[in-house]
Structure 1
Amino acid sequence: MQSMYFTEEHQLFRESLKEFLKKEVSPHIEKWEETGTIDSFIWKKFGEMGYFGLATPESDGGLGLDLFYTVIFLEELQKINSGGFAAAIWAHAYLAMTHLNKNAGEHLRKEYLEPSVLGEKIGCLGVSEPFGGSDVAGMRTTAIKEGHAYLLNGSKTFITNGVYCDYMIVAAKTDASAGNKGITIFVVDRNSEGVSANKLNKLGWRASDTAELAFDNVTVPAANILGEEGKGFTYIMEAFALERLVMGINAHARADYALEYALQYMSERETFGKKINQYQALRHRIADLYADMDICREYNYSVAYKMERGEYVVKEATISKLRSTKMADEVAYECLQFLGGYGYIEDYPMARLLRDSRLGPIGGGTSEILREIIAKIVIDKKEYKAPKS
């Protein structure tokens, strides 16, 4: 695809990635979807190819590439028709590793970031809780300092990679009286005594493990704090922009995949002596859906461009996720309809794609929360400013 945002090097990367996914991932997707477990070998293969290090500095074993390599990475992951596998991969690389890239000190970079780049250690991000997903400031998980360590107690839920990870990026209140200024982020080893995980049974994303985590007097060394104590809320808010843009990009990519598949099917399926892609009612609906997808795609590219330049794109990333995930749900629903009865059959990709897509307007901040953020910016003139270094 020609675009002002992608160079020849970007396009070569895309072709190489497509071949890798076709050879190393696609043959295993059905098994992983059925078992709900991703074989461990694939993480190291991604690491060997450098895919986990796209956004990581070269000094930490990464490639330090621009954000449009990440855009390509996300787009191609959506075209293997396993939202769960894609989620497991990007939750490691762009939820857990984002915090390590940004705020880990030398010890944590050696202990967790460098092995993460290699696919030797897999991470998850623990922010959402059973009593408040998007209400970060209202979290109940606590970390009370005792000597040179903290005692971590509480729970997290809807955590992608929570069962099979090697470490967790966990937000907890270290000062309950300080509101959102009393939140700190820790790196918690999965094997720490007192950590337990319960795997959740989901409608979609079935290849990934989504967990409810519990922490019962877990001892976390003070050296495992990411950044500064009490700055966790700021770090989380900063990372939300990337997470929401990631989900916006995922959405336009899976919509693009759904349309491509539906168009191929419609070019082959005949009724009453003609291909169904020749019926005006269907052609015009395809035109509307494609236009909606392309608008979201170009908008998402523009947000990625701004983010790459260092702009603080809270509003833009929020709009990206809100509109793109809604669009992707509509595209998946309509494309299933284009396939008729075959769309409802599990041997075809649309049933899974519809289920997987439905998480888009929920995860990473529900659409209702996102609308309120946008309303505060547009109506109340609230300003979201980048945290000071």
Structure 2
Amino acid sequence: MAKSVNVPFAEPPWLNGLPSPYYSDSHKRWQKACRDFIGKNLIANALEWDEEGLVPEHVFKTFAENNMLIPSLPAPLPVEWLKKVGLHELPGGVKVEEFDYLHMSIYTDEMSRSGLAGPGGSLTTGVSFGIPPLIKFASKSLQEKYLPDLLLGKKRICIAITEPGAGSDVANISTTAEKSSDGKHYIVNGSKKWITTGIWSEYATMAVRTGKAGPGGLSLLLVPLKGHPGVTMRRLKVGGQITGGTTYIELDDVKVPVENLIGEEGKGMTYIMTNFNHERLAIAIGATRQARVALSAAFAYVMKREAFGKTLIEQPVVRHRIAKAGALLESQWAWVEQFVYQMTKMKKAEADVELGGLTALCKAQAGIVINECAQVAVLLFGGNGYTRTGQGEVAERIYREVNGVRIPGGSEDVMLDLAVRQLLKIYQTKTKLLGKSKM
């Protein structure tokens, strides 16, 4: 007999004991290890830390010491580098070489189980999005200089792309990096805005303009931040994800060694786009769990809250709201699982082409789903859902984070348009190839 029964929508189907074709024994062991460690070291205090606006520094160190920052990297993991720094195994007995996108999805889902993106994001964003370009494109000497400390969590990094005048329109980035007269340094000038965890980071993987206007003039540069001459940083007050350390960075004649160029000049846009797919899928996974937390909290509430002589769940209009939101939620999760499974079976280059547009669409849809579930939760909690403390606290906070899903990583309208353009491009390319093969 089951030890407990979950509130409807509180867990994805496979964690409710329903059959799934996706998860192996390795994934199941990993999920249990994640829930134990993350529950104890993050989720238990996430609401409190979110209220204070800061996750204590010791939490990052605890995650680093237990190899629990690494799982936010895209799969497969950089096995050679991890073993080089002495990291062979993750909690739950998962070997670094067996870690796949399903493991990553489980980790991301568990990191969001408080319903809030900020606490988990304050730990993982730099690892998840700032390190991969170094692994994929940096020179061996640059990797050897920086990767050991970054992979072991001894130093922190962020991804710095967005600017006051260039968000989803990455090609119009204006921060410049011009070579010094002696050719030994890039001199960086400009500003970066809405940079998650920037305030705590020693380095940034930064998009800069080294050439002409447009995407062909962009490059990636590893830029020193904390304490570096010419760098000024301040935290921004944002509506949600307040523990994420959202930062405004100003760069005034910042000297960066030319050796800190990541890959080749002019290839920055290509590098950025390959990184975006991982970022958008991670956002979709986390947002779907946030939606789940909001809706299940509301479900638990309406089962006990009475009005007009009966519980709210006995009111048809309440059941109707939950049903519509629940259908969106479970459909979105099924799509996310399908994506993640496909990532375990496809090579990176193939997935970037075939799934790029659909990943953008999945990310956009995640924003639509969390908006619906959070809004339904707030409405069903009533006044409690409009109050920052008490029974509806979690629904109120998740609702504040909705736009933190719909805007970062590519704003919703841009993602919807990008998805269709990408699908059209793939169709036209395949049609032309099919035509040539018949000639």
Same fold flag (TM > 0.5): yes
Equivalence for 2:395: 350
Q: Aligned match of 2:302 in 266, 271, 281?
A: 266
The answer to whether the Cα contact below 8 Å between 2:375 and 2:399 also exists between their aligned partners in 1 is yes
Equivalence for 1:186: 221
CA distance in 2, matches of 1:91, 1:289: 28
Equivalence for 2:436: none
CA distance in 1, matches of 2:280, 2:108: 13
Amino acid at match of 2:362: S
The answer to whether the Cα contact below 8 Å between 2:357 and 2:420 also exists between their aligned partners in 1 is no
CA distance in 1, matches of 2:425, 2:261: 35
Give 3-state SS (helix, strand or coil) of 2:146's partner: helix
Structure 2 portions without partners, runs of 5+: 1-12, 15-19, 88-95, 431-439
1:22-37 counterparts in 2 under 5 A?
22-37=39-54
Give 3-state SS (helix, strand or coil) of 1:359's partner: helix
Between 1:108-117 and 1:128-137, the stretch displaced more is 108-117
CA drift at 1:153? 0.9
CA drift at 1:88? 2.0
User: In the alignment, does 2:345 pair up with 1:300?
Assistant: no
The answer to whether the Cα contact below 8 Å between 1:43 and 1:120 also exists between their aligned partners in 2 is no
Q: Aligned match of 2:375 in 299, 316, 333?
A: 333
Equivalence for 2:142: 108
| Pair 1:289–1:48, CA change in 2 (3 A) | same
User: In the alignment, does 2:366 pair up with 1:324?
Assistant: yes
CA distance in 2, matches of 1:214, 1:384: 42
- Please report the TM-score for the alignment, with normalisation by the length of structure 2: 0.82
CA distance in 2, matches of 1:332, 1:82: 12
**Segments of 4+ in structure 1 off by > 4 A?**
378-385
Structure 1 portions without partners, runs of 5+: none
The answer to whether the Cα contact below 8 Å between 2:127 and 2:158 also exists between their aligned partners in 1 is no
Equivalence for 1:372: 417
1:52-201 counterparts in 2 under 5 A?
52-54=69-71, 55=73, 56-61=77-82, 63-64=96-97, 65-146=99-180, 147-176=183-212, 179-190=214-225, 191-201=227-237
What number of residue pairs does the alignment pair up?
384
CA distance in 1, matches of 2:423, 2:168: 20
CA distance in 1, matches of 2:219, 2:136: 14
CA drift at 1:255? 0.9
- Please report the TM-score for the alignment, with normalisation by the length of structure 1: 0.93
CA distance in 2, matches of 1:383, 1:86: 40
1:273-288 counterparts in 2 under 5 A?
273-288=309-324
Between 1:303-312 and 1:151-160, the stretch displaced more is 303-312
| Pair 1:287–1:109, CA change in 2 (3 A) | same
| Pair 1:30–1:248, CA change in 2 (3 A) | closer
CA distance in 2, matches of 1:202, 1:38: 16
Give 3-state SS (helix, strand or coil) of 2:384's partner: helix
Equivalence for 1:47: 64
CA distance in 2, matches of 1:382, 1:140: 33
The alignment yields a C-alpha RMSD, in angstroms, of 2.1
Give 3-state SS (helix, strand or coil) of 1:377's partner: helix
Between 1:113-122 and 1:252-261, the stretch displaced more is 113-122
Equivalence for 2:9: none
CA drift at 1:100? 2.3
Give 3-state SS (helix, strand or coil) of 2:134's partner: helix
CA drift at 1:380? 6.6
CA distance in 1, matches of 2:148, 2:337: 29
1:240-268 deviation digits (Å, cap 9, x = unpaired): 11111111112211111112211222222
CA distance in 1, matches of 2:296, 2:379: 14
Between 1:267-276 and 1:281-290, the stretch displaced more is 267-276
